[in-house]
Structure 1
Amino acid sequence: MALLNLIASRRVRLLALAAVATLLLMNSSLFSNGYRRQFEQEPPVYLPTTSHADVNMREVSSAAAAAVAASAGLHTLRDQLAYVFPYNAESMIPRSVWQTWKTSPSDPQFPANYKHCHKKWTSACKDAGYSYNMLTDSDAMALLESVYAETPLVIKAYKLLPTAILRADFFRYLILFARGGIYSDMDTRPLKALGKWSSVEEKYLAHIAELSTEAYIPYKDINRNRMPAKASVKEPGLVIGIEADPDRDDWDDWYARRIQFCQWTIQAKPGHPALRELILNITATTLHSVPGPLRDSDDNSNLFDTAHSDDYNVNRRAKRGSDPLYKHNEAKVKKNVDGTDIMNWTGPGIFSDIIFEYLTNTLQHNNDIVLLNTDLQTPTAQNEDLTKSIKRFYKTINAALQTSGTVAWEFFAFLRNPVLVDDVMVLPITSFSPGVGQMEAKGTDDPMAFVEHMFSGSWKDEADGNKPAENAPKVNGGIPPVPA
C-alpha cells in the first residue's frame, strides 16, 4: 500500500512539474512575442536625402548627441551615424592605410601586377610609422558587421548591393568614416613619403594657417568678425583629389561629371560629415533600388522622403534622368547593373555630387568658413595662359559665391595647388593622377604627385557587358585620347 501511495505521489509531482514547465514556456513565448511586437512598433529609421536637406550638415554631430542625451531617440540614419561615429575636427588624421582585395597577397590568386604596389605601400607605411591594413573580402565583411552593428540598415544595404565593385566602392567610404586614415585602391602606388603629403606636412599646414587669417575668399553672408584672427595649425578632415577636369566639348562621353573627384585614393578623419552624407545616400539608394520588402512596400513614407523620391533612384541620375525611353522604375539586379549605374550609385559621379552638395551646404549654413584657392587669388603672371587658368572662370565663381553661397565646379578648374573649403582639402589632378598626359596633369616626379594610379579598371568592361552594344559608353571613367 505504501508503495502505491509513493508511486501516486511521484505521479502527482511529475504532473505538477509538467504543468509548471508548460506555463513557463507559454509565458516565455508570450513575453517573446510581446517583446517582438514592441520592437516592431518602434518608429522606422528614416532615410533623409542630402540633396534636399534643410540641416547644417557640419553640425549634425552635436545635435544628434544632444537628442540622445534628451532621450529624444535617433530615428534618422543621419543622426544615428553622427552619434555612433562622432567627428572631432581638432584631431589628427589617423596614421593608417587601408586596402582590400578578393584574396590576400600570399594567395596564389592574388594578381602578380599588384604585388609590386602592395610592397610599395607596406614599405611606405613602415618608413612613416603608419599602420598598414590589407583586408580580403571576407575580412571586410566581418569588420563592417562589427563596426556598424549599431546601424544595421547600412549593413543591410552593403549586403544587398548586387555587384562586387559596388561593395568595393562602398567599403572605402565605410572604413574611412569609421576608422579614418588613407584608403587607396590596390592598383596604386605611393610616390612620396606619407608624411610629406600637403595634408599632414607641418610646414605647408603652417602656411595654410597663415593664409586662413589673411587671404580667405569672401562669400554670401560671411561674417568677417568671426573669421580667425590667428588660425590654428590643424590637419584637414577630408582630403580628395581631382580625377578629371576635361576642358573639352565631349567631356560627358568620358566622365560622369565636368569636375570629377577621385575616389581611388582618399584621406580622412573618422566621422567626417561629408562621408556620412555619402553613406546615407548609398544606403538609401540601395534600399530603394534593389528588390526587397523595403522597396516593395505599399507605403514607404516613414522610410523615404516621398516628396523627393528621385533622390533615391539611381535610374534618374545624370543623363538617364531625362531619357524618356529608359526604365526609370526598374529594380536593380546584377544582370542589369552597368558602368553608368556604378558611376552614379557608389562611384565618382555620386561621390562628386555629394562633395559639392556638402560644400555648398556648409557655406549656406555657416558664416565663418575659410575658403582658400591660391590659383585664383595670386596675380596673373605675364606669360600665364588664361585659357588654361582658373582665372578664366573668375566672374562665374565670384557670382556663385556672392549671390547664393554656392561652390561652383569652376572653383576647382585647372588646379595647380591645394584648395581648402573649411576642412576639406582638394588636391590638383597631379596629386593622384600624375602622368596621364592631359588635363594639365604633371609627371610622377612633380612635387605635388603623391600617388600613381595604374588604371586597371577591368570592372568597367565587365559592367558594360550588361548594356546593349548600341548604348554602351566609350569608357566613362577612363582616360580618353588627347584631343587633336
Structure 2
Amino acid sequence: MTKVRLSKTNNKWKRSLWILAAITLVSISLYTFFPQSKGNDLQYTLRNLPNEITNAVTINNQQQKILGSEEIIRKFETLIEELNQENERQAKKFEKQHKTLEKKINLLKPISKDSPLSARLATRFPYKPKSKFPAFIWQTSSASMASSSTPSKNSQKWIDKNPGFVYEIVNPSFAEKLIKYYFNNMPEIWETYMKFPKGSSNQMNFVKYLVLLVHGGTYCDKDTIPQQPIPNWIPEATNPKDIGLLISIRDESLNLNDNDPIRKLQFENSIVHAKQHHPIIRDIIINIVYSTLNKENNSKSHTPRFNTHWEELGLWTDVIFKYFNHHLKKISGTTDQVISWQSLKSLKTPRLIGDILIYPAISFNSPTDSNDRDPLYLASHAITKRQLLQDSHH
C-alpha cells in the first residue's frame, strides 16, 4: 500500500512540474517577443504563477478523486450484488435443509396403527417423482442364503450387462428382515407374508413388491435375459425424470368382445423397473394385503386368495389401470374412464401415460435367437408365445 501511495504522489508532482515548466516557457516567450507592451502582463502572470500551479494541482486532484470515487462505487455495487447472490444461495440451501429435516422428523414420529394402511405406507415411503432410478437388480429365491448366494447363468448376464449395478438375491431370510425393519408398525404386512407357504412363488411375488417399494430398482425373474443394458431402456427423447415406472404389456386376449369378462390385456410383472416408493407399487401391496386378509376373514378356508400367479397378475393389471385413470382425472378434471385396454391394444412403440412408460409385449419377450438389434428388444423371457396366448384365456 505504501509503495502505491508514493507512486501516486510522485505522479502528481511530476504533473505539477510539467505545468510549471510550460507556464514558465510561455512567460519567457511573451517577454521576449513583447518586452514593453506586455511587460506588465508578464509581471502579473509571474506573480500569479504559484496560484495557477496550485489551481492546476487542485483541479487534477479533484479529477483523480472523482475517478477514484466512481471506482469505489462500482466496487461497492459489485460487492452488494455478490452478497445478495450469496444470501439467495444460503436461503435456498436453508430451505432445502429445512425440508429434509422436516421429512426426517416426520419419519421419526410414530404412525398410529389405527391409520389406514395406505396412509401409513404413504407417510413411511414418500414418493419423489424427480428422483433417479436406483441402480439395483433384484431377483427372488426360495432357497436358503447359502444355496442362493451364487447367481445363475441367466442372472450373471444381468450382472455383466449392467456394470455398476448392485445385484441382490432376495430369499425368505432377507425378506423377513426387510419386513421387520421397514414395516414394523404395519402388522398387516407381516400377517399377509405369513399366510403364504414359506418360500412359495406367491410369497416371493409379494416380497418383490415390498423390495421395490423400499429400495426401487429393477426386478427380473430368474428365467429372464437382458438384451440391452437397463439405462438404455429409456428412449433418448424421453427425460428419465418424467418416468416413475417402466413396464411392458404381457399379452392381449384374442377374444375382443367387450362383454366378455376376461381381461383383454395384461401387464408384464416378470420385469419391473421402478423408482423408490412409487405409488403403483404401494397400491399393489395394499391390494394384496386387503384381498388376502379379507378373503380369509370371509371364508372358513385359510388359503390365501392368490392361489395362482395369474390372480396376482390380474390384480397388478387392475391397479395400473386405476392409476392411469386417477392420474388423468386429476389432469383433465373428468370423471369418465379415459384409459382402457383399447387405448393400448396392438401397441407398437413405447407410450408414456402419466409417469408410466409402457413398452409393447415384444420388448420383455424378445426372441433369444435373433441377431436383430431392434431397439424395442429389451429382454427375453422363457415363456413361449403359445403359453402367453393360453394364459390370456385364464
Query: Shared fold by TM > 0.5?
Result: yes
1:333 and 2:303 correspond: yes
Partner Cα separation in structure 1 for residue 381 and residue 258 of structure 2: 21
1:261 and 2:228 correspond: no
CA 1:135–1:403 in structure 2 vs 1: closer, same or farther (change >3 Å)? closer
Query: How far is 1:174 from its partner?
Result: 1.1
Aligned residue in 1 for 2:157: 120
Partner Cα separation in structure 1 for residue 264 and residue 379 of structure 2: 22
1:240 and 2:205 correspond: no
User: Which deviates further from its counterpart, 271-280 or 99-108?
Assistant: 99-108
Query: How far is 1:430 from its partner?
Result: 1.4
Aligned residue in 2 for 1:197: 233
CA 1:234–1:435 in structure 2 vs 1: closer, same or farther (change >3 Å)? same
CA 1:70–1:140 in structure 2 vs 1: closer, same or farther (change >3 Å)? closer
1:451 and 2:379 correspond: yes
CA 1:65–1:153 in structure 2 vs 1: closer, same or farther (change >3 Å)? farther
Query: How far is 1:410 from its partner?
Result: 0.8
Partner Cα separation in structure 1 for residue 212 and residue 306 of structure 2: 26
TM-score (norm 2): 0.63
Q: What is the alpha-carbon root mean square deviation over aligned residues?
A: 3.9
CA 1:90–1:248 in structure 2 vs 1: closer, same or farther (change >3 Å)? same
CA 1:356–1:436 in structure 2 vs 1: closer, same or farther (change >3 Å)? farther
Match of 1:367, as an amino acid? S
- Asked whether the 8 Å contact 1:183–1:266 carries over to 2, the reply is yes
- The structure with the larger Rg is 2
**What number of residue pairs does the alignment pair up?**
287
Aligned residue in 2 for 1:84: 124
CA 1:125–1:67 in structure 2 vs 1: closer, same or farther (change >3 Å)? closer
Q: 2:279 aligns with which of 260, 273, 291?
A: 273
- Please list, as runs of the form range in 1=range in 2, the aligned pairs for 1:3-402 lying within 5 A after superposition: 75-103=115-143, 107=147, 115-126=152-163, 129-162=164-197, 164-198=200-234, 201=235, 203-206=236-239, 234-248=241-255, 257-290=263-296, 295=297, 329=299, 331-333=301-303, 338-339=307-308, 342-344=309-311, 347-367=312-332
Partner Cα separation in structure 2 for residue 240 and residue 168 of structure 1: 19
Q: 2:352 aligns with which of 420, 437, 441?
A: 420
Partner Cα separation in structure 2 for residue 258 and residue 91 of structure 1: 33
Match of 1:429, as an amino acid? A
- Asked whether the 8 Å contact 1:104–1:134 carries over to 2, the reply is no
- Asked whether the 8 Å contact 1:97–1:125 carries over to 2, the reply is no
- Asked whether the 8 Å contact 2:155–2:222 carries over to 1, the reply is yes
Partner Cα separation in structure 2 for residue 98 and residue 108 of structure 1: 13
Partner Cα separation in structure 2 for residue 238 and residue 265 of structure 1: 11
Partner Cα separation in structure 2 for residue 66 and residue 361 of structure 1: 30
Cα deviations by residue, 1:271-305 (Å, 9 ceiling, x for unpaired): 11111111111111111123xxxx27xxxxxxxxx
Partner Cα separation in structure 2 for residue 78 and residue 245 of structure 1: 31
TM-score (norm 1): 0.52
Partner Cα separation in structure 1 for residue 171 and residue 109 of structure 2: 41
CA 1:358–1:417 in structure 2 vs 1: closer, same or farther (change >3 Å)? same
SS of residue in 1 equivalent to 2:326? helix
Q: Which runs of 5+ in 2 are unaligned?
A: 1-102
Cα deviations by residue, 1:411-470 (Å, 9 ceiling, x for unpaired): 111111111111111111111112399xxxx997421111111139xxxxxxxxxxxxxx
Match of 1:450, as an amino acid? L
- Asked whether the 8 Å contact 2:195–2:303 carries over to 1, the reply is no
Query: How far is 1:66 from its partner?
Result: 12
Partner Cα separation in structure 1 for residue 371 and residue 302 of structure 2: 40
- Asked whether the 8 Å contact 2:159–2:167 carries over to 1, the reply is yes
Percent identity between the two aligned chains:
25
Tell which has more relative contact order, 1 or 2 (C-alpha 8 A, sep 6+).
1
Query: How far is 1:140 from its partner?
Result: 2.2
Partner Cα separation in structure 1 for residue 104 and residue 330 of structure 2: 19
- Asked whether the 8 Å contact 1:93–1:235 carries over to 2, the reply is no
Which has the larger share of helix? Answer: 2
SS of residue in 1 equivalent to 2:243? coil
CA 1:178–1:70 in structure 2 vs 1: closer, same or farther (change >3 Å)? closer
Match of 1:98, as an amino acid? W
- Asked whether the 8 Å contact 1:433–1:451 carries over to 2, the reply is yes
SS of residue in 2 equivalent to 1:107? helix
Match of 2:357, as an amino acid? M
Partner Cα separation in structure 2 for residue 108 and residue 170 of structure 1: 19
Q: Which runs of 5+ in 1 are unaligned?
A: 1-63, 207-232, 297-328, 369-401, 457-474
